[in-house]
Amino acid sequence: MVRGRDHQPDAGTGYAELARATYTRSGKPWRWWRPLIALAITGAGMLLGQTVLLVAFLVIDLAGASRVETWDPEVVLDRIVALDATDVPVLIVTLGGLACLIPSIYLGLAVAGMRPIGHIGSVALRLRWRWMLSLLPVALASLVLSLGITILVSMVAVAGAGGAPDAEVFTPQWTPVGTLVPALLVIVLLVPFQAAAEEYLFRGLFVQTLAAWLPARRWSMALVVVVTTLLFVAGHVYDVWGLLDVGVFGLAAVWLTLRTGGLEAAISLHVVNNVVVFSLQATGIFGSTEGSGEGSLVGVLATLISTIAYCWVVAVMARRAGLRSTSPWPSPRGVAPVPLPMPGVWAPVQVPSQPVR
């Protein structure tokens, strides 16, 4: 693009700077502490939601338990940490508690005065539902590719080892239908909100907050990507390979958010992954309905290949659809708005020069 004093500045603010841009366009001075208010209310809202659900869990589930030891706090904690995909009360507490992030974030933005609060969704100041729904089949294909690579490599490894004893890894322990159906119902209803809530927090609120505090430089955006990904990884209790797998997903999610100007692509991938994995885990096909938290080099490579493929397809679809990845107004950092003539009165338009960054 040609730059110079006679050329209009780039029209468009990226997703990361939307929080500051939407506020300063109202003519009010930006204050660094506003995101802190939003973060505090978000944390308080999630804590309140989790507390209410946990109390309900203790009252309803444990009050009817026949074993006295189930009242032991260690037993309760072990159940929550194990995250058995067929343990409906635990699913409601964990998934529902994370889902509380979405209303908490919107409330925090509203109280902090960072309106319109829709900037957390995309540069369109809302979630672009049609775009997000169109990506669900692509996300499913990506997950199938990842699972296919993992299973294929594992089968080859088992065959190379002579078939035993590693073959036991593929022996399912099927869940009874009476236990599976309610678990699947909870998974389908709550997991999409849990996955979306994590995107709202890590790729939404955290990204926009850090970008609002840092200068508009390339290094600052790289710092935003690294920090938010590390925070996302820190929120999971896995082994080294499992954390690397989560890190690959986190990097892909933040890239998708910045590339498409919204959370939709990351939400689609996250929702499909979690719904399918939780559902498969609930069936007992992996031999256990509990989350192991263990990863592998094969799993990391499969995730890397499948997420790269997903990112490439999303980029192609966004380009063909003409998807806007920036806002229709210029960045507020050092760029004065272009003055317009009054109605009925002719006046020359003064075009500001491109700021040096």
Residue-wise pLDDT for 89-118, tens only, equals 889 999 999 999 999 999 999 999 888 899
pTM score of the predicted model:
0.86
Start-to-end C-alpha separation, the chain: 15
The residue ranges of the chain whose pLDDT is under 70 are 1-11, 61-72, 158, 160-170, 332-357
pLDDT for position 351: 37
Neighbouring CB atoms inside 10 A of 25's CB total 14
Q: What is residue 228's predicted lDDT score, i.e. its pLDDT?
A: 96
Q: Where are the domains of the chain?
A: 15-321
Per-position b or e across 181-201, b if 16+ CB within 10 A of its CB: eebbebbeebbbbbbbbbbbb
Other CB atoms within 10 Å distance of the CB of residue 216? 18
Q: How far apart (Å, rounded) are the C-alpha atoms in residues 268 and 195?
A: 9
Rounded Cα distance, 44 and 31, in Å: 22
Using one digit for the tens of pLDDT, what is the confidence trace for 38-69? 999 999 999 999 899 888 887 776 665 544 45
Q: With the CA atoms of 289, 291, 294 and 300 taken in that order, what torsion angle do they form, in degrees rounded to the nearest 10?
A: 90
